[in-house]
Amino acid sequence: MHDVSDFIWEVIKMIIYVIIWGIILYCIGYAVAWAFTLGKYPKGPRSQRQTNLISGAGLLFLVAVWFGIAGYNNFIRTAQ
């Protein structure tokens, strides 16, 4: 039973890694990097080699947006 639960846990972790890190954050990071560099980066096979860097940029962007929204909401509440 322990082996089955370990296997299921590993499959869940792999799915989360592939879907969240490999697809969602990669697409966000790709768009952010492309917008900040005005279309110069990432291009071609180089972008596939730097998947973690691009996904990290997507995560950083989402955290920055989250902090921006939280700060704005805090500012609005204190201004009222």
* Contact criterion met (CB below 8 Å) for 55 and 29: yes
Domain boundaries of the chain, sorted by first residue: 2-79
Give me the pLDDT at residue 26, please: 92
pLDDT single digits (tens) 32-70 = 999 998 888 877 776 778 888 999 999 999 999 999 999
Give me the pLDDT at residue 80, please: 65
The rounded mean pLDDT for the chain is 88
How far is Cα 43 from Cα 29, in angstroms, rounded to an integer? 13
Percent of the chain with pLDDT over 90: 46
Percent of the chain with pLDDT over 70: 95
